Chains A and B, each alone.
Chain A
Amino acid sequence: MEILEFASPRTLDEALHLVRDRHGTAIGGAAWLRMNTKTMPLGVDLSELGLDYIREANGSIEIGAMTTYRELETSPLLEARFGALFRNTVSHIVGIQLRNIITVGGTLAGRYGFSDLNTTLCALGAKVVFYPGKIADVASFIQDGEEWPFLIEKVLLPVSARASYQQMRITANDFPIINAAAAWTGSSWRIAVGSRPAASRLCKKAMVLLGNEPYPSDEKIGQAAVAAAEELQFGSDIRASAEYRREILPALMRRALMEVRG
């Protein structure tokens, strides 16, 4: 990665100006960006903006864009509110040395098909906050994107939820070949699937099928798991065929739903 000019703004206003008006590239952990062979005229470092936090504020859990995956998996607040959810979501990703670098903001901005975290964020009904204040559903943003250039400031989560994340990988440390997350929000079910290999999507028909019953029967769970596989599109790549992904998904989804239901 070659960067011709490097700026370390100290305020979000300055960072936004550099990204929007001077077409600078926002730099999160840079672990993904660095594999880019293009020359970057202006790199905008986001590490001096105080965007590294996990806290409760204004009725939400707020996670700053520069928060690392290792911070997600070791956060006592996230553990207290969501149990092992974040640990289970990120702990398969390479190793802690990489997870000490990669960020929530870089993950969201990339809308990567293979993302583990984005599937969990979709199921939780997370919101993404673009500086200076526009808020969007993570699931809609992942599906439709956002007018470029943008600067992600933070993510908002509900203060608690019962949720589960499931994934399948061919080998440890590789990208998942399929992943699924389910959450009971207190009034309804939200379920999402990612690594299809395309990006995470909500399974809206299956969510309607589950309705607002907090303890669905095994039969209902089985139906919803199959419905989720039927309503989504799957693709083939070097890791797995579309048919294989469709076949595996109901098992993962059943596990996720049963874990949440208890």
Chain B
Amino acid sequence: MIITLYINGKKESVECQPGEMLTEVLRRAGYVEVKKGCDTGNCGVCTVLLEGKPVLSCSYLAIRADGKQITTIQGAAKEAEEFAHFLTAEGADQCGFCAPGFALTVLAMKKELPNPSEGEIRHYLAGNLCRCSGYEGQIRAIKKYLEAEHA
């Protein structure tokens, strides 16, 4: 069947099977910046924003996204790049595989929580696993990024 997705502001008609998950459909349509990690709902690497909310694209039925707005990291490139400067400055971006899902969750948090405490940041980001950084650098980077945004 054909569904219509609004990906990064662009209308796309894509073919999908009824049981397919959103990751597969997005990657097939060329949005390979959406990464596939555990594919079981555990790691957060496949995160996209669906109508502005972060969801795991590996665990979201593609057919349900019909008619909806989807943002991948490319669609948030400008903001993500600004955030990435803070990540690299703190040595928190190593292999980089977790970065697209991680950055999108940070951007969603920035919209949802006006002035998050460290506890709230950790809680909001708990679903984004990173096998390299040990998280401390990421937390420093987020705090500095948010401080700079508020300055």
Whether, in the assembled complex, B64 has its beta carbon less than 8 Å from a beta carbon of chain A, the answer is yes
Shortest Cβ distance from A3 into chain B, in angstroms? 4
- Which segment, of B7-15, B40-48, B87-95, B137-145, faces chain A? B40-48
Within 8 A of B (CB), among A8-23: none
Per-residue A-contact encoding for B38-73, CB less than 8 Å = 1, 0 else: 001110100100100111100111011000000000
Whether, in the assembled complex, B106 has its beta carbon less than 8 Å from a beta carbon of chain A, the answer is no
Chain A to chain B: the 10 pairs with minimum beta-carbon distance, closest first:
A95-B127, A6-B18, A3-B19, A3-B18, A31-B59, A1-B19, A97-B54, A97-B56, A2-B19, A100-B55
Tally of A interface residues using CB under 8 Å: 27
In the assembled complex, which residues on chain B have CB atoms less than 8 Å from the CB atom of A30? 59-61
Whether, in the assembled complex, A238 has its beta carbon less than 8 Å from a beta carbon of chain B, the answer is no
Q: How far is the CA of A99 from the CA of B17 in the complex (A)?
A: 24
Whether, in the assembled complex, A170 has its beta carbon less than 8 Å from a beta carbon of chain B, the answer is no
For B41, B53, B54, the residue with the greatest tally of chain A CB atoms inside 10 Å of its CB is: B41
Could you name 14 residue pairs across A and B whose Cβ atoms are closer than 8 Å? Answer: A1-B19, A2-B19, A6-B63, A27-B61, A30-B59, A30-B60, A31-B59, A43-B19, A91-B123, A95-B44, A98-B56, A98-B127, A101-B59, A101-B60
Please tell me which one of the listed residues A2, A31, A45, A173 contacts residue B126 in the complex, with CB atoms under 8 A apart.
A173
Please tell me which one of the listed residues A27, A43, A97 contacts residue B47 in the complex, with CB atoms under 8 A apart.
A97
B18 touches A43 (CB 8 A): yes
Please tell me which one of the listed residues A4, A91, A98 contacts residue B59 in the complex, with CB atoms under 8 A apart.
A98
Q: How far is the CA of A233 from the CA of B17 in the complex (A)?
A: 44
Whether, in the assembled complex, A40 has its beta carbon less than 8 Å from a beta carbon of chain B, the answer is yes
Whether, in the assembled complex, A160 has its beta carbon less than 8 Å from a beta carbon of chain B, the answer is no
Write the residues of chain B forming the contact surface with A, with a CB cutoff of 8 angstroms.
1, 17-19, 21, 40-42, 44, 47, 50, 53-56, 59-61, 63-64, 101, 105, 123-129
B55 touches A101 (CB 8 A): yes
Whether, in the assembled complex, A47 has its beta carbon less than 8 Å from a beta carbon of chain B, the answer is yes
Shortest Cβ distance from B45 into chain A, in angstroms? 10
Known A43-B18, A95-B126, A95-B127: A100·B41 in contact at CB below 8 Å: no
In the assembled complex, which residues on chain A have CB atoms less than 8 Å from the CB atom of B40? 35
11 further A-B contacts with Cβ under 8 Å, apart from A96-B127, A101-B55, A173-B126, are A3-B17, A5-B18, A27-B61, A31-B59, A40-B19, A43-B18, A95-B126, A96-B105, A97-B56, A173-B42, A173-B129
Q: How far is the CA of A257 from the CA of B31 in the complex (A)?
A: 51
Known A101-B59, A172-B126: A31·B41 in contact at CB below 8 Å: yes
Closest to A70 in B: B53
B41 touches A98 (CB 8 A): yes
Closest to B64 in A: A47
In the assembled complex, which residues on chain B have CB atoms less than 8 Å from the CB atom of A31? 41, 56, 59
Shortest Cβ distance from A11 into chain B, in angstroms? 18
Closest to A92 in B: B126
Shortest Cβ distance from B120 into chain A, in angstroms? 11
Please tell me which one of the listed residues A4, A29, A100, A101 contacts residue B18 in the complex, with CB atoms under 8 A apart.
A4
In the assembled complex, which residues on chain B have CB atoms less than 8 Å from the CB atom of A220? none
Shortest Cβ distance from B128 into chain A, in angstroms? 7
Q: How far is the CA of A29 from the CA of B56 in the complex (A)?
A: 11
Q: How far is the CA of A100 from the CA of B105 in the complex (A)?
A: 12
In the assembled complex, which residues on chain B have CB atoms less than 8 Å from the CB atom of A95? 44, 105, 125-128
Known A100-B54, A100-B55, A101-B55: A94·B41 in contact at CB below 8 Å: yes
B18 touches A96 (CB 8 A): no
Whether, in the assembled complex, A34 has its beta carbon less than 8 Å from a beta carbon of chain B, the answer is yes
Within 8 A of B (CB), among A202-241: none
In the assembled complex, which residues on chain B have CB atoms less than 8 Å from the CB atom of A94? 41-42, 126-127
In the assembled complex, which residues on chain A have CB atoms less than 8 Å from the CB atom of B54? 96-97, 100
